[in-house]
Amino acid sequence: MTKHCVKDWVLATRPWSFPASAMPVLATLAYLHWMGEAVDWLTGVWAIVNIVVFHAAGNTLSDYFDFIKGVDREDTIGGMSLTSGTFEPVEIRTLSLVLLAVATLSGIAIVAFTGLPTLYIGALGFALTVLYPWLKYHALGDVDIFLTYSVLPILGTSFVATGEFNLQALWLAVPIGLITVGILHANNARDTEHDKRADIKTFAMLIGKKASAQLYCVEVLLPFAWIIAGCVLGVFPWWSMLVLPALKPAADNVRGALRFPKEGAQALWGVDEATAKLQLIFSLLLTLSLIIATYAR
């Protein structure tokens, strides 16, 4: 086997996608702080690290199964660590198992510090991470991602950081979760023809190119309307309008998506990574707005 440097191993985890897991936790901590909750910041940061490690494990596990099943091949864009020949399948499988073990042990330690309810959230997150490849192949990957990288981390963070589940924090689930699902949806829409060849069914395949393009537009534009409505209703501070500059990268992505029905996969090249960047920008602006609002009162 070829010897690999640390950079090779890190790139194999697809670190560009990590905002999808880190940002829901960070934004939830800021939201709870704005609400006046006594936030345990140390445990909150621990939760961010833990979910990112789980995310890395999920990415490598997905790449392994996609390669083994023939979803990712030499002419596909995803899973480059395997299709390029940089890594052997057994290496990526081992990396995934090691990351899962580290995240699980860390999660058990968090449970010991915070209480049994954390175990239920963590166990469901673990199951959804491990089952993601199968769920993706049966058109349920979008649902899995929304739960794993939106609802569960928001609920889990509210508990480990404050000692109780704060259901109002779920207002964050829709704007953050939809953009995260948009990352997967852009990827799956682009890879429709390759996925058909591998005899799997993603949600993008089921609804077709036109509906996929329209759905992507909803996934990256509705979050802005949600924040505006939340400001009007008082569940977000008016400072949260600071997310609006992120409309520019969102609109850029939408233009690519709208070309997809006519131009095909080429129109969506790079849109998944651009959506991850949008997630980072949107969530950081939202987090910043909540921090400003906390100290501007």
Q: Give pLDDT tens digits for 226-272.
A: 999 999 999 999 999 999 999 999 999 999 999 999 998 888 888 98
Rounded to 5°, the CA angle 214-56-63 comes to 70
Calpha distance 128→110 (Å, rounded): 19
Q: Which amino acid is at 148?
A: T
Determine which of 33-42, 55-64, 73-82, 213-222 has the lowest per-residue pLDDT on average: 73-82
Are 188 and 203 in contact, with CB atoms under 8 Å apart?
yes
Structural tokens at position 102: 């580290």
Residues 6+ apart with CB under 8 A from 220: 178, 179, 182, 250, 253, 254, 275, 278
The pTM of the full predicted model, rounded to 2 decimals, is: 0.92
Report the b/e string of 81-104 with b at 16+ CB within 10 A.
bbbeeebeeebbbebbeebbeebb
Which pLDDT does position 72 carry in this prediction?
A: 67
Does position 89 have pLDDT exceeding 70, yes or no? yes
What pLDDT, on a 0 to 100 scale, did the predictor assign at position 206?
A: 92
Give the model's pLDDT for residue 76. Answer: 61
Q: Is 27 helix (H, G, I), strand (E, B) or coil?
A: helix
- CA 95 vs CA 67, 106, 124, 221, 267: distances in Å: 15, 16, 21, 36, 33
